[in-house]
Structures are given as structure tokens and as C-alpha cells.
Amino acid sequence: MTPFKPYQPESRPGETMGLVERVKRAVTDDAEEQYTYRCGRCESEFESTEAHMGKVECPDCGSHDLRTVATG
Ligand SMILES: [Zn+2]
């Protein structure tokens, strides 16, 4: 039996890597603002690009009791 191979557009591995790298760079260059939050429940600190605190939850405990931490 022939193993199933997902359809792949014509591209060599190198080109795919390049694209990923370019996308990564574009994201970084666009300098999406990073917000540092501290969890009021477990005091865990984490960064998020989400500016609306209400949409952010602690990755450790899932709490929405967060404060912003001044950076820079
Ligand atoms: Zn937490």
C-alpha cells in the first residue's frame, strides 16, 4: 500500500524555511507591543500581545485577576 501523502504545493524545503523565517521576522519587526501581566492569584508573570486585560488569563492558573507590569 502506498502511504498517504498530503498534497504539497511546489516548494522545496529551503523555500518553506525561508518563508517561515520571513513571516517570523515580519512579526518581530512589526513590534507588536508586549504587555507584561502579573497574576494576582499565583503571582506568575507572563507576556502577552493582548492589550485588553479582560481577554487575558493567567497561563498557570487561568485567573483573570491580573495587573499590568511596567516594562522598560
Ligand atoms: Zn495565576
Ligand 1 center–CA 66 separation, angstroms: 8
Q: What is the tens place of the pLDDT at every residue in 1-60?
A: 677 877 767 766 666 667 767 766 665 566 778 899 999 999 999 999 998 889 999 999
Say how many Å lie between the CA of residue 24 and the centre of ligand 1. Answer: 29
Q: What local confidence, expressed as pLDDT, does residue 70 receive?
A: 81
Which one, of 44, 40, 49, 47, lies nearest residue 60 by Cα? 44
Full set of structural domains in the chain with CATH: 33-72 (2.20.28)
Tell me the residues surrounding ligand 1 (ion) with CB < 5 Å. Answer: 39, 41-42, 44, 58, 60-61, 63
Q: pTM score > 0.75 for this model? A: no
Determine the pLDDT at residue 31: 72
Q: Which pLDDT belongs to residue 55? A: 94
Q: What pLDDT sits at residue 16?
A: 64
Nearest to 39 by CA among 8, 62, 12, 7: 62
